[in-house]
Amino acid sequence: GIEAERKRSDSRACPSPSLAQMERSKLCGRSGAVAGPRRPGAAVAVARACSSVAGRRRNGGLSRRLVCQPNREGEHCCRRLVVRRSQSSPEVEVFEGQFGTWQVEDEDRREVFLYRGGLSVCAASFSLAGLALLAAGPESNGALLDGLFAAGSLGFGLSLVMIHIYITPAKRFLQGLFLAGVAGSLFVLASSGGEDGATSVLGSVLEHPSKVWFVGPLFASLTGVGFKEGVCYGKREAFAVAVLTPVLLLSHLTGLADDKFEAVLLLGWIGALSAFAAGKFNQPIHEDIGDKSVFQFMKLSEEEQQQVLRNRDQL
């Protein structure tokens, strides 16, 4: 069995999570994520204190490591540990969530890989389609544009299936927007009929701005994912995707921007989306999983939840 030991660095206990903290943990891919001020200098100082007190000791193959996180008052407590099964096996990292410990399983790794892979396919396909439109406009090869748009949509759809958002209504809302956008895209494709030289979904939208209403829900879903990633991880490129996507679509829909400005917006969007997808592979896997202890806690009955909270406060 796995040996495990927990040790706090100071006398300040981590408080029971508030409702806001729980909601953030369910939305964001961070174990033990909390709301409240963050003080980088204090975090570093306390982290060093944790290292000096608990250190990285090994007893019979046991490896302990503490990571400090801020609580609502800006104070810090250490709540993460590492254990080792045997001298010959790799470390098994166990995360201290809001309501108990959890670890990354093989299934979690596959889901995160598919989520990130789907975003990469989406970014690559949509970017190539955008560059083709910039080069040749609506007269671009229709089959090529539709193929790239379909590949990007399928990639993004896969990411929406694999994304770890424990607020089920929020996840279903994003997926519903995506499906509405796919249905609208199929309608645009069926109704284009080569009008004005446009033989593709994107070409038809380019020539007829009002058709943004049909494909817009798909990109609204992409905006939601960008916003989620930006809020949870502070990624600038994710925020850029969340801002540039609606700005680009609304600029084309309303006709308030000229062709040159739209081209600049499209290039900026391509750059932001590509950087966002590529940057996902630099993140630790556990960040995209979320705090699984929250998910397990929400499945319990109200009485069982109260018992978990009482046990947690006694630690």
- pLDDT band (50, 70, 90) for residue 77: very low
- More reliable by pLDDT, 194 or 308: 308
Residue 198 has pLDDT above 80, yes or no: no
User: Residue 196 gets which letter from DSSP?
Assistant: G
Query: How large is the average pLDDT for residues 139-143?
Result: 81
- 74-88, 262-276, 279-293: segment of lowest average pLDDT: 74-88
Cα–Cα distance measured from residue 282 to residue 85, given in angstroms and rounded to the nearest whole number = 27
- Going by C-alpha positions, the residue among 108, 117, 124 that lies closest to residue 280 is 117
User: Residue 54 gets which letter from DSSP?
Assistant: T
pTM of this structure: 0.72
- More reliable by pLDDT, 155 or 288: 155
Query: How large is the average pLDDT for residues 167-192?
Result: 93
- pLDDT band (50, 70, 90) for residue 315: low
- More reliable by pLDDT, 306 or 1: 306
- Going by C-alpha positions, the residue among 163, 134, 151, 159 that lies closest to residue 287 is 163
- pLDDT band (50, 70, 90) for residue 69: very low
Residue 224 has pLDDT above 50, yes or no: yes
- Going by C-alpha positions, the residue among 155, 151, 148 that lies closest to residue 120 is 155
What is the arrangement of strands in the sheet containing 100-103, beginning at the earlier edge strand? 81-84, 91-97, 100-103
pLDDT more than 70, % of the chain? 68
What is the end-to-end Cα distance of the chain in Å, rounded? 22
DSSP string, 95-142: EEETTEEEE--HHHHHHHHHHHHHHHHHHHHHHHHHHHHHHHGGGS-H
| Average pLDDT of the chain, as a whole number | 76
Q: Which pLDDT score, from 0 to 100, does residue 139 have?
A: 74
Q: Which pLDDT score, from 0 to 100, does residue 31 have?
A: 44
Residue 56 has pLDDT above 60, yes or no: no
Q: Which pLDDT score, from 0 to 100, does residue 95 have?
A: 80
DSSP string, 224-241: HHHHHHHHHH--HHHHHH
Q: Which pLDDT score, from 0 to 100, does residue 91 have?
A: 64
Asked whether the beta carbons of 168 and 113 are under 8 A apart, the reply is no
Q: Which pLDDT score, from 0 to 100, does residue 71 have?
A: 43
